Structure 1
Amino acid sequence: MAVRYRYPSTMDLVEDYDYYDNLTLNYSYEDYHTVCEKADVRSFAGLFLPVVYSVCVAVGLAGNSLVLSVYAYRLRRTMMDAFLVHLAVADLLLLLTLPFWAADAARGWELGLPLCKLVSACYTINFTCCMLLLACVSIDRYLASIRAEGRNQGRLGRVFTRAHYGKVCLGVWAVAFLLGLPDLLFSTVSKTSGRRVCLAVYPPSLAQEVKACLEMVEVLLGFLVPLLVMAWCYFNVGRALGRLPVESRGRRLSAIRVLLVVVGVFVVTQLPYNAVKICRAMDSTYTLVTHCGVSKALDRVAQVTESLALTHCCLNPLLYAFLGSSFRKHVLKAAKAFGGRTRRREEQAVEMSFNNSHSASQETSAFSI
């Protein structure tokens, strides 16, 4: 049966497997069918993943919850506001799956089959949705630069409007759900090396090429397409900033630095992880890795690179919300509104207490602080 790997969220990545090592014409004991024992890789995952996932959950929940609380109650949302809200929701749902994978790395999967399917699908859906929403944010910034220059936005501008933001976000979630559907259907709990693991196991009718094709589609929609869209959009935004008057040079350079940081962080966090996914897909099709040591090294690299990719959930609020002046204004307004409500409640409480203690005097009953 074909096994589809999810790196490195489950211990299926480090299961023992049979391999042929050092095949030559001169036969030796190394040429016999042996087992690649990966207990050391499992031990590394049991220590490394829970620590990294705990940090991601703590930081990511705080930042994305703040973004969601600020934007959720705005009545007149822009496209940017809508994308940031959906991005925060996807980040939060993805982060909520990490405690399950941390427990799985430390002790194995002990939570049953239904939760295995749900958590596996939720992980893939929200990870893909985050990447696609980042592409939508870059398109919105590109269209904003066109509007600022008074140029025609074309067909893209007619789609990315406030009237259609619900349809755009729904389309993004639909694509992400389709990519997560195989995990929902084929994830199962298996016993490997004395412990239970949650992984996707495909029936024999689905060939290795189908499994590799799914991995490549995830790389395409979860990395290559968002990267190309971001690079093209932000390149054009940079050109538009370059046409600003000379007196705006300081603001222009600051904005360009922000764009470079956004693209750079995306490449640094996502490129290693997707490169490993491509290697895994090619290995599942052509059996490229036949040496136990290489397989162990690839497992550890997979664990580290996916952990690095998950840090983007913590960085999204900083890159796309906290750096924006509009978000800071919304935070200040929300803080003032919260402070005003708190003061009014305190005034009402003090007034009620004062009136109760002086109910005999009509003159003091109308006194308020």
Structure 2
Amino acid sequence: ELNFAQNHSETGVYPSEEPGPCNLDLDPLETITQTYIHSIICAFGLIGNLLVIVTYIFYKRTKTMTDVFLFNVALADLLFVVALPLIIYNEQHSWAMGSVSCKILQGVYSINLYSGMLLLACISGDRYVAIVLARRFFGAHSNTLIYSRLVCSVVWMFAVALSLPTVIFTERFEEENLGVQIVTCQLCINHNETVKVMKVLVPTLQVAIGFLLPLLVMVFCYSKIICTLLRAQSSQRHKAVRVVLAVVVVFIICHLPYNTTLLTHTLVLFKERGCEAERMRLKVLAVTRSIAYLHCCLNPILYAFIGVRFRSHFRQILQDLWCLGKKYISGRSSRGTSDLSISGQKATNGFNISQPHSSFSA
């Protein structure tokens, strides 16, 4: 959800139960709570997605279409968790980094949203082909890496194209509220009809392409995969079914509340509504948005660390880091010991033992 949803100067009149303008700002406690939650999301998202990227670059190598998709999902999530602290800082400090950062950061979020969700749909489609259509397409994917990289390129270009309205029309916007100058980063267009279209079009595209389309693809593909696994005579089928169900359930839990709230907010955007109801709607929007952000931390666990081979590579990373740490510490200690012995020899050579009381002479 982009911050232009809070631009109440162009989205209808709020009949307030209180005298004076309607104050839609979050209270300090909610702001602090959101900051802590987003900081935790950034930390875990950074660690998890960096591990996925390091594993694919130095240990596992990309061999299948799913590997390429997972690598790009980790890149998209890493892009988001790096930008999130800057977004939080600017929101709390009146976009002190200026109009350019406003455009770039909101554009980065939008690109991550579309690319990440569409890549998850691509992963479900690839698994559908590999499991459900295994016999029909057996031996037909000799150029899987080329196809997967082409698909990823198309996804990233599509995400950039869908994010262009956000980058072009988002501006650092200043307005007066209760005698206080408020600075936000939101859609700011001179033509009133254009801004109305954009304020409806951007959230609608986000819900339709960033949530509903991937959800439909995932439900279709994974339902077929579950049916195929249940028919298979394999001791691992129940575990595989649980993993598939976990992927779909976590996706729905993280994104359904937020997208439902965003869609509701968009539908009433130009209608007259009460100040208190609008405050509550924005609070729910902020809470559900934080829940949606959690998905970038869960993606490495759901799509990568569940795999046995990936876990073995992860353990290898930890072992290598442990060995490097031990070598560094032993190297420091050995250098310290040698420096101590050298300095001791210098002190001994500089001290005249033939005159033991010379240093205490008055």
Alignment TM-score > 0.5, same fold: yes
Query: Residues of 2 paired with 1:339 and 1:225: CA distance?
Result: 43
TM-score (norm 2): 0.80
Describe the superposition over 1:64-112 as per-residue Cα deviations: whole angstroms up to 9, x where unpaired. 1101100123445211111111111100111112112221343321111
Amino acid at match of 1:316: N
Q: Do the aligned residues in 1 keep the contact of 2:258 with 2:285 (CA within 8 Å)?
A: yes
SS in 2 for 1:191: strand
Query: Residues of 1 paired with 2:14 and 2:247: CA distance?
Result: 44
Query: Residues of 2 paired with 1:159 and 1:34: CA distance?
Result: 68
Q: Do the aligned residues in 1 keep the contact of 2:14 with 2:22 (CA within 8 Å)?
A: no
**RMSD of equivalent CA atoms:** 3.3
The counterpart of 1:186, out of the listed 158, 169, 183, is 169
2:28 paired with 1:43: yes
2:206 paired with 1:218: yes
Partner of residue 199, structure 1: 186
Partner of residue 290, structure 1: 273
Q: Do the aligned residues in 1 keep the contact of 2:15 with 2:272 (CA within 8 Å)?
A: no
SS in 2 for 1:142: helix
SS in 1 for 2:185: strand
Amino acid at match of 1:208: K
Q: Do the aligned residues in 1 keep the contact of 2:187 with 2:195 (CA within 8 Å)?
A: no
1:208 Cα offset (Å): 1.6
* Closer/same/farther in 2, CA of residues 330 and 213 from structure 1, 3 Å limit: same
Query: Residues of 1 paired with 2:330 and 2:40: CA distance?
Result: 40
Partner of residue 358, structure 2: none
The counterpart of 2:222, out of the listed 234, 241, 246, is 234
Query: Residues of 1 paired with 2:137 and 2:82: CA distance?
Result: 38
Partner of residue 137, structure 1: 123
Describe the superposition over 1:127-175 as per-residue Cα deviations: whole angstroms up to 9, x where unpaired. 221111111111121122136xx42139xx7699222111100011111
SS in 1 for 2:21: strand
2:13 paired with 1:19: yes
Q: Do the aligned residues in 1 keep the contact of 2:187 with 2:199 (CA within 8 Å)?
A: no
Describe the superposition over 1:1-47 as per-residue Cα deviations: whole angstroms up to 9, x where unpaired. xxxxx44xx4862767872539xxxxxxx7x99621224x2535522
1:243 Cα offset (Å): 1.4
Partner of residue 26, structure 1: none
Q: Do the aligned residues in 2 keep the contact of 1:52 with 1:307 (CA within 8 Å)?
A: yes
2:110 paired with 1:127: no
* Closer/same/farther in 2, CA of residues 159 and 219 from structure 1, 3 Å limit: farther
Which structure has the larger Rg? Answer: 2
Q: Do the aligned residues in 1 keep the contact of 2:107 with 2:164 (CA within 8 Å)?
A: yes
Partner of residue 65, structure 1: 50
Query: Residues of 2 paired with 1:159 and 1:94: CA distance?
Result: 33
1:289 Cα offset (Å): 4.9
* Closer/same/farther in 2, CA of residues 309 and 160 from structure 1, 3 Å limit: farther
Partner of residue 251, structure 2: 266
**Structure 1: where are the runs of 5+ without partners?**
1-5, 23-29, 350-369
Query: Residues of 2 paired with 1:20 and 1:135: CA distance?
Result: 39
2:270 paired with 1:277: no
Q: Greater CA deviation, 69-78 or 94-103?
A: 69-78
Identity %: 31
Report the number of matched residues: 328
